[in-house]
Amino acid sequence: MARILVIEDNDLEREMFQEVLVRAGYEVDVAANGEEGLSAFRDVQADIMMPEKDGVELIRDLRQEFPETRIIAITGVRGRYNRLPAASNLGANHTLMKPFQMQDLLDKIGELLED
């Protein structure tokens, strides 16, 4: 069973991601911010990382320390403050813009786990 670490600063969204992923059969750990997430990742060695707040810095740190980590970057920020292009440039395997369908997230996870 794949283990996924969800990093999301919004409590309700974090719980929703966790519930959907557990129902899909994944083992899920959660963190509320980038520092907590990096610490948790060091402890659990999750299969997929989904950063939200401070995600670009976190992706950079993860790529340096754990280069094989599979990462899905998610944000709801649009316009010039959208950091998804930077997340991709730093090595996020996939990106998603909120709002999105949960099936899209599950499909991206499935693709990464097949690799």
In a domain, 39, yes or no: yes
Whole-angstrom distance, CA of residue 102 vs CA of residue 20:
8
- What burial class does residue 52 get, using C-beta atoms within 10 Å of its C-beta: 0-12 exposed, 13-18 middle, 19+ buried? buried
Within-domain flag for 93 = yes
Residue 62 lies in a domain: yes
Helices and strands of the chain, counted as H and E runs: 5, 5
Residue 49 confidence (pLDDT): 73
Using an 8 Å Cβ cutoff, are 105 and 96 in contact?
A: yes
Task: Give the model's pLDDT for residue 52.
Answer: 61
Q: What is the pLDDT of residue 29?
A: 95
pLDDT at residue 96 in the model? 93
86 lies in some domain: yes
**pLDDT tens across the length of the chain (115 residues):** 899 999 999 999 999 999 999 999 999 999 999 999 999 999 888 877 777 656 888 899 999 999 999 999 998 777 877 788 888 999 999 999 999 999 999 999 999 999 7
Range of the domain at 101: 3-105
Total domains, the chain? 1
Number of residues in the chain: 115
Residue 10 lies in a domain: yes
**74 vs 1, 43, 81, CA distance in Å?**
23, 22, 13
* 110 lies in some domain: no
Examine residue 115 and state whether it is found in any structural domain, yes or no. no
Q: What is the CATH number of the domain that holds 42?
A: 3.40.50.2300
